[in-house]
């Protein structure tokens, strides 16, 4: 049975394999500003997908964020171009993702390395792939 795209899930595929995370989607300014701040924990298979209207320079910080995170920065096609591993909780330093970032996936810190997720991996989600999402996952 082929994987299906749902609003509350992202699928990752790359040379390393595939993974699925249950996500909250932050697709407006208020949700993106709040992010995962003030959370004390997050399920291992969970994350947050940040969706921007267009690709642009993107930076994150960990202010008021208590969970160490891996931050995966992706372009307008959903291809991950940079991974910041184990972002330090409560750190207010800027984490620059790149100049043409439209999607950012935050997952629990250490998972990207443990799973082998690397730049070049594709993120599949209805916000990214639109109607072709299900078809892309079935290939």
3 pLDDT above the threshold of 70: no
The predicted model gives 118-126 an average pLDDT of: 96
Q: Which of 60, 52, 29, 58 is nearest to 102 (CA)?
A: 52
pLDDT tens digits for 42-73? Answer: 999 999 999 999 999 999 999 999 999 999 99
Task: Give CA–CA dist 58/75, Å, rounded.
Answer: 11
Residue 5 binned pLDDT confidence (cut-offs 50, 70, 90):
confident
The predicted model gives 71-78 an average pLDDT of: 96
């Amino acid at each position: 049975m082929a994987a299906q795209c749902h609003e509350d899930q992202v699928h990752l595929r790359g040379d390393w394999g595939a993974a699925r995370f249950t996500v909250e989607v932050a697709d407006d300014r208020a949700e993106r500003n709040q992010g995962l701040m003030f959370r004390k924990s997050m399920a291992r298979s969970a994350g947050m997908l940040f969706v921007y209207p267009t690709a642009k320079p993107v930076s994150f910080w960990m202010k008021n964020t208590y969970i160490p995170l891996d931050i995966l920065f992706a372009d307008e096609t959903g291809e991950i171009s940079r991974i910041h591993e184990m972002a330090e909780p409560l750190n207010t330093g800027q984490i620059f993702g790149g100049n043409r970032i439209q999607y950012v996936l935050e997952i629990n810190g250490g998972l990207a390395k443990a799973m082998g997720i690397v730049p070049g991996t594709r993120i599949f989600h209805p916000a990214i792939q639109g109607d072709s999402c299900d078809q892309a996952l079935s290939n």
